[in-house]
Amino acid sequence: MMERSELEGTLDRLLGPAAPEIGCDQCFEQLDGYVESELAGRDADVEFPGLAAHLEGCPACREEHESLRTLVEADRSN
């Protein structure tokens, strides 16, 4: 959608290079490791910079994160 990408462009300019921004593809690739890191009690935000920020702003990936986390947690408790 055009409105969405315009908004993202504006956000990128506002945030600048100090805030690492990843896309859905990268987010998806790293989500496994991110969840593992979270559940292991490590600092997932440091290991995967930009991912938490992406989850904040991306409902689709947030949902993916939630369900992956639930899956991994259920797997671990067995």
Q: What is the separation, in whole angstroms, between the first and last Cα of the chain? A: 42
Closest CA to 19 of 47, 45, 53: 53
Closest CA to 16 of 52, 48, 53, 41: 53
| 7, 11, 15, 24: which one binds Zn ion (CB under 5 A) | 24
Minimum distance, C-beta of residue 38 to Zn ion, in the bound complex (Å): 17
- Select from 39, 52, 53, 58 the one that contacts Zn ion (CB under 5 A): 58
11 belongs to the binding site for Zn ion (CB under 5 A): no
Closest approach of Cβ 27 to Zn ion, in Å? 5
